Structures are given as C-alpha cells and as structure tokens.
Structure 1
C-alpha cells in the first residue's frame, strides 16, 4: 500500500528546478570552499600545510570516488547530497581553527573527511545534472548549475574582498570572513533536503526520470565493471585526470605573488570567469539548436582546445619572468603585487580566463558523459569515476607543489597533460549518437499508475502497468535517465 504524498507543483518536479536546487546546495557548500581556497593557501598563508591538506583531501576523494556512485544509487540523491555537504563546514572550520589556534593536524584531518564527503556530493550532483534534463538541454543544465555553484565562489570572494580591502597589508583572512563562510555553508546543508528522488521528477514531455529510486550492492558492482570494460570510459580517463590539475599551480602563484586584497580580487575574477564561461559553453555551443549533436561536441572540444592553448601560452610568457626565489624575495621585502600596481595590469584578466576555460573544460567532459547514456545509475557511476580521476590529478599536482617544484615545471606539466587528453576525447565524441532514446526505453507518467511512481516499484512492473493501459506505447523513446 502506498503512502499518500503531498502533490508537488509542476515547476518543482521539473528537471531544471532540481538542477537549480543542486546548484544552490553546491553554491553554499563547495562554493564557499572554493572561495576560501582561492584566497591563497586556503587563507592560511602556510602553503606547505595547505598543500599537504589538499593532497590528503584529493587522495581520499580519488579513492572514495570509485564507490561514491554506488553509494548514491543505494541511498538516493537527497541523503547523498546531505552527507556529502557536511564535510565542507568541518574543513572551513579547520582553517579557521588553524589561524586562531595553530592546530596543524586539524586541516589535514578535515581534508581526509571532506575528501570522502565531497565524493558523495559530486556523484549525486553529476547524476542529477546529467540524467534529469532532456538530451537537448544537457548543456544548458550544466551552464545553469555551474553558474549557480560558481556564484557561491564569487559571492564568497566578494565578501572577503569587502571585508579585507580596508587593510592593504593583510596577510591572513579575517575572523568575520570565516564566520560568513560557515553560516552560508550551513544554509547549503539544509537546502539538500529540497532535492527530489528521480521517481518524482517529470520531464516536459511527460516522462518519468526513473521508476527505480535505489539499486542493490551487487547491481552496482556489476554496473561499475561494465562501465570500466567500455573502451570509451578508458579513453576519457586522461581528460578526467587533467581536469583540475592546474589548481595547485594557480593557487601557488596566487599565494606567492600577490598580497591579501589582490588575492581576493583574483578570486572574484575567477568566479566571474567561471560563471560567464559556463553560460557561454552551455547555451551557445553545446546546446546550439542549429547543429547536430556530434557537431556540437566537436565544436565544444575545439573551443576548449583553443582556449587552453592561448591561456597557457600567455601564462608561460609571464612565468618565465620569475621563479619561487623571486616570489620569496617579494614576500620578504613586503613588495607582493597589489592590484594598484602597474605590474598587475593584465594579470587579473589571466585569472579570469583560468576559470572561464575551466568551466568550458568541465562542461565538455560532463556533456560527453551524458551523451553516452541517459541512465541515472550509470551516470552516477560515471560522475564518481570522473571525480575520482580528477581528484587523483589534483592530489598529484599538490604533491608537486608541496615539494617546491619549480613553477615552470608545474606549468608545463599542467599544460601538457591537458593537451595529451584532447585527442582521446575526440575519439569518444566520434561515437556519440544523435539520440539515445531509441536504445533506452522510458515510462510516461500518464501511462503508468501513480502508485507505481510514488512507491518506486521496479521497472519491469512499471512497464507492465504501462502496457496494460496503453498497448501502443510500449516502445516509448525518451531516456529513463535524462536528469
């Protein structure tokens, strides 16, 4: 017997509404984490400690990402998002505690905790963003989510800038900045309960995202094995690994070359770049209604390749003018670059485009995954694997930085890894079909008994109900996982 549930308004059960809600959760949790990270060494000004904590965080993230998709599919997205968001408040609190009490172990411990919880959050987020929307809206879904999420980083940086700009000699983040971050993160944790399970989400064409709301451990194991046996998954691993390898390098030069107020300004520019880049690539390129699906993939990849070549070539022209010794000398002399200095000209634009290109990179990676299937359980596993490999790359980059690797070596390693991954991504895009609807059958809400949807009965039973009611619709063609 099914429990009577409150009938939800149509706009709330739409895929885009759910994407927006997940964006709000990430806006207030991951966004604040990114804002703190972009303040230079996480606001601690202790680059070595920050690198160690980040290495632990992303090392744990890499391991947890291998199973986080399965956990999401077993628990459901709402609980997974809730548990996934808890680690961020602990991590920001640990940085605050270090600044006031000098407890060096706390950021490292918190890094390990948030590495696990972040894997949960991003698997749930990836599954929702990639499988709930219609195929024609997946680029837009990324653009909307990423813009909202990065707006958290942008607002957090603006808060820090407004508070800290009064003191041009600022060396550390103020207590009031940390207080603002923690309050916003708690709001994000609460917002995770607004997200609906897939069986309550109905697309604009009347299809249900998925009747089954959870799966079993054995099914998850076999599903991950099947995913890893696909050559396209293996071909995407280099792109996954390279996705955020630049984090350590970009953070190191931000902390090493700029004073406190200018670091917050750079972080604000990064947030703006990410927002604009996500909306551009999602709406203008990947969901361009005038182009065939595979052509949009080619165009998105070409846009990304051009951006990465130009941005990193410009960065190289600046990088060859200084090294770590020069950065240390500037800090000792109290002559770190300030936004009022003539030497700052152009560097703010570079930080803007670091994250403009990053948004395009993330968009293309997610678009490729979501173009291979619409099935939400599969996409949750894909999202977990993506974040696992991405985190392994980030952990490696922070490991390089923690050993004081020359800036130039970090730059070249970051750039080369990205460039090597692009041909493999091209090969995968070549296999993209115009639609996956014909291969992945779905259920229309008007041909399925309401109790079947509310109770989340198994797909076989749901299809039986559908066939009994409308025999001529047994071959429906909308993806069961267009999140």
Structure 2
C-alpha cells in the first residue's frame, strides 16, 4: 500500500499526548464534512468527528435521558407520596439491567453506538410516561413493565457511553473527558430537579409532583433519544494527534461473544473491581428514598436534588482534572486517587452515621409525622451532608471509570469493561430497591452501604498498585484476540513503540 496517497492520516501511538488544536491544523484529514473546522470568535473549533465533540453529544444525550431519570428518582419515590411504584419499577429496572448490562458490550460493538444510545433513550421516555399514567390510573403493572424495559435499554445506552468516554480520549486526557461528561450529564439532573422545585416551591405539605413535571421530562427524554443519531461511527473519529480509536474492523456476533468471555482470560484482574462496580449503585436507594423521601417534604426534596447534582458536577470536576495532572506519573495519580476516595468515603459516611441515628423507618412511615422543611431549625446539617453524598458519588464514579480507562485503550475491550460495570452495579441497585420494598431498617441499609464502599476499595487496591501503568502500548492493546483487526486508521501507518512505522 502506498503511503503517499491523498487520504493518508499519520497515526501515532495512542500513548502520545493529545496535541493542541493549533498543532492539529497540520493534519491531512479526509475530505469530508466530518473533518471541517469552523471558527468562533477567532477560535478554531474541533472537527465534528473529534473526541471532544462526540463526547459532548453523548453528554447531552445523557443530560436529556438519564439526567431526567435521576431528577425524577432524586425526588424520592419517583415523585409519588407512596414509594411502592418506584421501588417495584426500579427493582425490575435494575434486575433486567444487571443481565443485559453484563452482555451489553457484545451488542454495542455489533450494533454501533448510535443505535445503542438511541434505543436506550426511548426506554427513559417510556419510564417517564408510566409515572404520568400512574398519576391518574395507579397502574402498578405499567410502571413495573416500564422499569423492566428501561433496564434493557439503559444497559445498551450506558455501555455505549462508557466505551466512548474511556476509549475516545488520548491517555493524557481521560480524566478530563470523564469529568466533562459527568458535569454535562449531572447538569441535566440539576435542571430536571429545578422543574419540581419551581412547581412546589410554595407547598410545604407533602404532595405528588404534577403532570406538568412528567410531561416536561417526557419531552426532554424524546429529544435525547433523537440526538443520539447525530453521532458518527467510532471508526471515523480522529484525535487531535491524528490517531484513531481501536475498534473491530468487521465485528460478528461470534467474535463479540468470544471476545466477551476472553476478557476474563486476558484481564482476570478486572474481577477485583467488581465489588466497586457493585457499590456504585448500592447507595442510590438510600440517598433518594431512605433520606430524601423519608425525611423531607416535597419542596425540600426538590431543593436537595438540585444541590446533590450540583455537588456531583463539582466532584467530577475536581477528581477528573486532578487525575490528569501533568508532571506526575499515572501510577502515582492512581494511588493518590485511591487514597483520596477512601478518605472521602470514611469522612462523609462517618458523618452520615450520626445523622442516621436521629430517625428510623417507623418515624418516616408514620402518617402523623411532619416531614422536615428547609425553614425548620436544624436543616443545615442534613442539607450539607446530602450535598456531600452527591460529591462522593461523583468522585466514586469518576475514579472507577478512570481506573478502567487506565487499563487499556482498546474500544472493544472497554465496551466489555463498561458492560461489566453497568451490569454489576445494576445488580446492586436491584437488591437495594427490593430491600427497601421489604422495609429493611434504615440503619441496616446504611451499614451495608458504608461497609461495601470501604471494603470494595480494599479489594480493588491490588489492581491500582500493580495493573495501572504509566502508559499502555499499542501492541498490547491490539493483541486482544487473534481475530481482532484493529482499525486504527485505514491506509495508514502505526508507529511501534520500539521500531519504525509498520503497516496494520
């Protein structure tokens, strides 16, 4: 193959730090609208098929779909006075999510990220519509079915999102890309939480959220599902240094199923991260239903939801950018992140223990109980604690994604990692929503959260110490299976770590 053809793209080792956008002007990009650059106020914008633009699109898909879901669940009970429908729907959701999520990498690699994300978005629309219906019909069957359907859809959406977020950026920028996504995504939940806050701001008594809230969420989730179709294929994405995403050239169902199981043989250490995956959704029921819905009235729950997700944005920013600090080896940053995360969990949940001693399920379930309002004395303490529960959640999710992204740059393998992550965390979510439905004491639920978070960090420590490297060589990434053809760049050369350019 001749190397002086017009459409040659010089592709560098994926370990190469991302160049500036000015440097990327020297790239000889394909002659397509996907690679045209526009100027805004004298600043050259990235081309459409670049990692930053693609990540922003994915961020806004999740802003509009999971973001509205989080806003709805952050109200506690899905905005309903009786959390039964929400508990049943979420138990069904996370049960199907756990199964589908585990195998979602196989489907995402075969179907493509656009199909996976759009199909996932539709599931969120049906879920929101079921609550609108429940407001009038009390149809528990529909909400439960919608939860089960969303579990299938969300498994694909989150797998595609995880694969994009971890494989598109160059190694030196993965923390920032993860934080950008998490900030955009949680901004959706902030805005979504402002809707019920505005509608209930003058209501101090407990109440179900209005139809208008559900209709607003429904419209936004439909827009999110449509937005997914503006993404480009992974094989068309070109980074600022000219390198491309490592993907399967012609994936088949057989190769993807084989690749899924081969992950356990090529990367068995990933099992040590499974407890962290399990813990990552374990605490949501406790935060949303057993604190926010159990302790506060409607307008205060909405306010708490706003600040919870604002702190998620702050937490993602702090941890994401700290994980990419230049001049410090990645192995050192990984150890520091583990230490910071462990300290955060122990401090925040240590304060949470004191708060949990002030009320129990019997108090929350008593119809004569007047739920706490933001105007009540003593609100400041629980308010600040709830804020930092949101902060610690973002810190946890950001670090878990970064740890996985530090293990490989292979998009196919990262899709499987993301599938494992979402599947296992959803299994945890299914368990906790069911436990709440069984009326497990709040203190027992609190203890399970704190113990799992701290214990899973200890189990994951060997991976952080011995498997995270300063860089992952291209040769190691494309040796995933004998059947893998890494489509690093069509008609291009790949620079070896130790030799001259070799053709792929």
Q: TM-score, normalized by length of structure 2?
A: 0.86
Q: Deviations over 1:59-92 (max 9, x none)?
A: 1000001221111000111111111111001001
Q: CA deviation at 1:253?
A: 2.0
Residue from 371, 392, 398 that aligns with 1:357: 392
User: Partner residue of 1:31?
Assistant: 67
Partner of 2:151, secondary structure, is helix
CA separation of 1:469 and 1:64: change in aligned 2, threshold 3 A: closer
User: Partner residue of 2:297?
Assistant: 259
Residue from 334, 337, 346 that aligns with 1:297: 334
Residue from 36, 41, 48 that aligns with 1:9: 36
- Structure 1 unaligned spans of 5+: 443-457, 477-483
Superposition pairs for residues 67-466 of structure 1, below 5 Å? 67-210=103-246, 212=248, 215-229=251-265, 230-251=267-288, 252-283=290-321, 285-329=322-366, 331-333=367-369, 335-430=370-465, 431-440=467-476, 459=485, 465-466=491-492
Partner of 1:474, secondary structure, is strand
Q: CA deviation at 1:424?
A: 2.1
Contact 1:269 1:352 in 2 (8 A): yes
- CA distance in structure 2 between the aligned counterparts of 1:80 and 1:39, rounded to whole angstroms: 28
Partner of 2:35, secondary structure, is coil
- CA distance in structure 2 between the aligned counterparts of 1:378 and 1:358, rounded to whole angstroms: 25
- Structure 2 unaligned spans of 5+: 1-6, 8-29, 38-45, 479-483
Partner of 1:209, secondary structure, is coil
Q: Deviations over 1:339-396 (max 9, x none)?
A: 1101312211111111110111011111111111100011011101100000011111
Structure number with higher helix proportion = 1
- CA distance in structure 1 between the aligned counterparts of 2:246 and 2:475, rounded to whole angstroms: 15
Q: Deviations over 1:240-282 (max 9, x none)?
A: 1111201111122211111000010110011101111001100
Q: Deviations over 1:438-457 (max 9, x none)?
A: 43478xxxxxxxxxxxxxxx
CA separation of 1:432 and 1:7: change in aligned 2, threshold 3 A: closer
Residue correspondences, number: 457
Q: Considering only aligned residues, what root-mean-square deviation do their CA atoms show, in Å?
A: 2.3
Q: CA deviation at 1:461?
A: 8.5
Q: CA deviation at 1:48?
A: 2.3
- CA distance in structure 1 between the aligned counterparts of 2:381 and 2:426, rounded to whole angstroms: 30
CA separation of 1:109 and 1:473: change in aligned 2, threshold 3 A: same
- CA distance in structure 1 between the aligned counterparts of 2:488 and 2:313, rounded to whole angstroms: 40
- CA distance in structure 2 between the aligned counterparts of 1:104 and 1:81, rounded to whole angstroms: 27
CA separation of 1:316 and 1:469: change in aligned 2, threshold 3 A: closer
